[in-house]
Amino acid sequence: MDVLQVILSGLLLGGVYALFAAGLNMIFGVMRVINLAHGELMMLGAYITFFLFSQAGVNPLLSIPLSAVALLVLGVLLQFTLVERVVNQPLLSSLLLTFGLSTLMMGIALNLWTSNFRSVAWSPLTGSWDVAGLAVSKSRLVAFAIALLVTGATWLFLKKSIFGKAIRATSQHAEVAQICGIDVRRVRLATFGLGSAMAAISGSLIAMIFTISPEMGRMFIGKAFAIIVLGGLGSFAGTFVGALLLGTSETLAAYYTDTQLAEAVAYAVLLLVLLIRPSGLFGRAE
Amino acid sequence: MSSPIDHPTAPAEVEDTTIVRGRPTPGWERYLGWIYLVILILATGFLIWYPSTATAYAVSLALIVLMTISLASSWNFLSGFGGYTSFGHAGFFGIGSYTGALLLHYEKVSWIPAVIIAGLGAGMLALVIGYPVLRLRGPYFAIAMLAFSELCRVLITAWESVTLGGHGVYLPIVRFQREEDGATAWDRFGIQLHNNQNYYAMLVLAIIAVSIAYAIGTSRFGLELLAIRDDEVAAQSMGIQTTRVKITAFGLSAIFPATAGAIYARQVGYIDPPTVFLVIWSIRSIATAILGGQGTILGPIIGAIVLTLVSERVWEINPNLYQVIFGGLIVLVVLFMPGGLIFLLQKRGILPRSRRL
């Protein structure tokens, strides 16, 4: 029963990971930019929820759309002013640029909000429900449900809507997409905005589960890389499965060994997949 | 690729018919090797003499400059010349720090062998992991090396019985000798050497790194790396043994951060996993090389001096804003100086467009 408990809590966490990693994967797919600042976008989302809750008493669930919209705007601005300039440049330019942004945002957050750990203690979501003998953490279940909803909505948007199809076309082949009349520049703006909003929502959800700090982004970006590589770069479904797998294996590793080694799981998975099957579980070989 | 193109021996009549942008190569370019040798001897002489007048703070600052030169130059071996963007320098730096520090902590060997073992050990490790990892390209390689560095940090932290885990390692203290104790000038020089041994070790390392960079930059091996950077498949079909070239460059480039890490550990006296495996060690190497000029010989030297002095100044003004300003600087360099200082000067016609710069 204990193991089931552990697996369940890992799966629930995996849902939130999926939302975070899906945004990163989408940005990479569309513009071949590895956004090293993605974790900091998540951190900003988490802090928006935290401050709205602690300063204005806003219900954390209601603050989620607010943080999503705020980061959507920030994401579009970042893409418009900075990231657009390194698209189609050597890989190193975009890596360095986004790393610089990440350091910049983290530095600003450290100065404004100190490195103290904060948490959102919202009473309706503390404690757990008893489901068939398993204790299900309320905050994790709600976070999982919301993450699932948002990821599913994004997936539908990409699958069904015209603009979603434009995004997928650009990610398959940017030049051909352009020839077919797709404004790839606008697609890139929308993608970075959307990816940032997804990061923000996952940040808001993480704020309800864990403690947050300005340095939290660095921890999650490593996991996101592992998930994306595991699922296959550019594969939406792969990201989701990869996230659930990573969430579960992390909590299992923490249960059987110790929390320190659990941290190694993400990196070990990442390296192993890259060495054995670089295209991931669902990816196409490049 | 926006890299300096080499036309050192282009005959005059060719220059009239082909489009060669910029000025023709000046005559003194032919003597560049000798010019470098003279500068190297003068600079080495100055740097050997330097600690005798400078304050302890200035010497430690010079040590950081020399360390940054080694880091950036060696990053250039594989990533600047070969185009394989590596985030592995943080991992090798940390491994070197820990190897050196633990050898001294358990009193296995004295410090010079410890530093050398740290460097060669990391070089060997790079040869082993290089074979599988260097099959990955572009973003995959970058992410893999990022993960490698982090994995090393976590494993060193977890392997508590040997590495002392998160508590960190204290290194034996170097006892200073008083300079007045020396009877002759030679004795006093010996004491100066003893009191600044980390600085001198870093000087030797930087000289070796720059010399190897020159050897790579002017050799066939360097050309092979450049070919791999521009088009690996084409390079392979031209008969270049790409795997061997890449692994050699990778092994060479891993030795220097590890050796520098071991000397650095001795200099600061205490290390723990979060500080020596920080991703910033990779970024420092990369930013320095980019600022000076990717795939150049002189670039890392210029970049190291500029970057270290600027970041020291920022640190003095406001340590809290250090990250903000450092991050902002990286963004500015990427946007406005993607080729680095060397390329900027070449475009203006101040420096010749030579591969030997």
pLDDT tens, residue by residue, A213-249: 998 988 899 899 999 988 888 788 889 999 999 999 9
Q: Point out the least confidently predicted range of A224-228, A249-253, B145-149, B338-342.
A: B338-342
**Distance (Å, rounded) from C-alpha B299 to C-alpha B295?**
8
Which residues lie across from A136 on neighbouring strands? A129
**Tens of pLDDT, residues B202-232:** 999 999 999 999 999 889 999 999 999 989 9
Averaged pLDDT, B170-179: 77
Q: Which residues of B touch A266 (CB under 8 A)?
A: 147
Minimal CA separation from A104 to chain B, in Å: 4
Residue B284 has pLDDT above 80, yes or no: yes
- Chain B interface, best mutation among A78, A85, A99, A111, by max B CB count within 10 A: A99
Q: Point out the least confidently predicted range of A6-15, A93-102, A118-127, B52-61.
A: A118-127
Which residues lie across from A134 on neighbouring strands? A131
Cβ pair A103:B327 closer than 8 A? yes
Nearest CA in chain A to B336: A85
> What is the per-residue pLDDT for B5?
47
Higher pLDDT, B24 or B355: B355
Minimal CA separation from B142 to chain A, in Å: 9
Q: How confident is the model at residue A1 (pLDDT cuts 50, 70, 90)?
A: low
With an 8 Å Cβ cutoff, is B155 touching chain A?
yes
DSSP code string of B132-170: HHTTS-HHHHHHHHHHHHHHHHHHHHH-HHHH-GGG-EE
Task: Report, in this order, helix, strand and coil percent for chain B, each rounded to 5.
Answer: 75, 0, 25
> What is the per-residue pLDDT for B14?
44
Domains in chain B with CATH codes: 31-45+54-347 (1.10.3470)
A113, A145, A123: which is closest to A212 by C-alpha?
A: A113
B122, B152, B144, B111: which is closest to B276 by C-alpha?
A: B152
Minimal CA separation from B82 to chain A, in Å: 13
Averaged pLDDT, B255-263: 96
Residue B182 has pLDDT above 50, yes or no: yes
Which residues lie across from B170 on neighbouring strands? B270
Per-chain mean pLDDT for chain B: 85
Q: Point out the least confidently predicted range of A9-23, A60-74, A225-239.
A: A225-239
What is the ipTM metric for this complex?
Answer: 0.85
Averaged pLDDT, A182-193: 93
Fill in the DSSP letter of residue B355: T
**Distance (Å, rounded) from C-alpha B142 to C-alpha A96?**
12
With an 8 Å Cβ cutoff, is B294 touching chain A?
yes
> What is the per-residue pLDDT for A203?
94
**Distance (Å, rounded) from C-alpha A61 to C-alpha A50?**
11
> What is the per-residue pLDDT for B199?
92
With an 8 Å Cβ cutoff, is A281 touching chain B?
no
Neighbours of B263 (CB within 10 A): 28
> What is the per-residue pLDDT for B2?
43
Nearest CA in chain B to A271: B144
Cβ pair A92:B331 closer than 8 A? no
List the 39-58 stretch of B: residues with Cβ below 8 A of A.
none
**Distance (Å, rounded) from C-alpha A88 to C-alpha B254?**
29
Cα angle A56, A58, A59 (rounded to 5 degrees) comes to: 155
Q: Point out the least confidently predicted range of A26-35, A160-169, B337-346.
A: B337-346
- Cα A73 to Cα A68, A69, A190: the distances in Å are 9, 6, 10
**Tens of pLDDT, residues A120-162:** 887 777 777 877 778 888 888 999 999 999 999 999 999 999 9
List the 102-121 stretch of B: residues with Cβ below 8 A of A.
none
**Tens of pLDDT, residues A109-122:** 999 998 888 888 87
Q: Which residues of A touch B327 (CB under 8 A)?
A: 99-107
Of A82, A93, A218, the CB nearest to B338: A93
With an 8 Å Cβ cutoff, is B278 touching chain A?
no
> What is the per-residue pLDDT for B25?
67
Cβ pair B144:A274 closer than 8 A? yes
Residue B179 has pLDDT above 70, yes or no: no
Of B79, B151, B331, the CB nearest to A100: B331
Per-chain mean pLDDT for chain A: 88
Location of structure tokens 């590890």:
B258
Residue B1 has pLDDT above 80, yes or no: no
Rg (CA), chain B: 21
> What is the per-residue pLDDT for A130?
79
> Mapped to the 3 state alphabet, what secondary structure does chain A carry?
CHHHHHHHHHHHHHHHHHHHHHHHHHHHHHHCCCCCCHHHHHHHHHHHHHHHHHHHCCCHHHHHHHHHHHHHHHHHHHHHHCHHHHCCCCHHHHHHHHHHHHHHHHHHHHHHHCCCCECCCCHHHCCEEEECCEEEEHHHHHHHHHHHHHHHHHHHHHHHCHHHHHHHHHHHCHHHHHHCCCCHHHHHHHHHHHHHHHHHHHHHHHHHHCCECCCHHHHHHHHHHHHHHHHCCCCHHHHHHHHHHHHHHHHHHHHHCCHHHHHHHHHHHHHHHHHHCCCCCCCCCC
| Amino acid code (one letter) for A55 | Q
The token duo for A14 is: 């995996």
> What is the per-residue pLDDT for A119?
84
Number of residues that this document lists for chain B: 357
Q: How confident is the model at residue A9 (pLDDT cuts 50, 70, 90)?
A: confident
Q: Which residues of B touch A99 (CB under 8 A)?
A: 283, 327, 330
Of A34, A111, A226, the CB nearest to B142: A34
Averaged pLDDT, B133-142: 87
**Tens of pLDDT, residues B35-61:** 888 888 999 888 888 888 888 888 999
Of B136, B157, B287, the CB nearest to A278: B136
Cβ pair B144:A261 closer than 8 A? no
Work out how many CB contacts closer than 8 A connect A with B.
Answer: 122
SS3 B271: strand
Residue A187 has pLDDT above 90, yes or no: yes
The token duo for B328 is: 């902002």
Minimal CA separation from A267 to chain B, in Å: 5
Q: How confident is the model at residue B4 (pLDDT cuts 50, 70, 90)?
A: very low
With an 8 Å Cβ cutoff, is B274 touching chain A?
no
Averaged pLDDT, B76-87: 90
> What is the per-residue pLDDT for B140?
86
CB A154 within 8 A of CB A22: yes
DSSP code string of B46-81: HHHHGGGTS-HHHHHHHHHHHHHHHHHHHHIIIIIH
Fill in the DSSP letter of residue B171: P
With an 8 Å Cβ cutoff, is A109 touching chain B?
no
β-pairing verdict for A134-137 and B169-170: unpaired
> What is the per-residue pLDDT for A134?
80
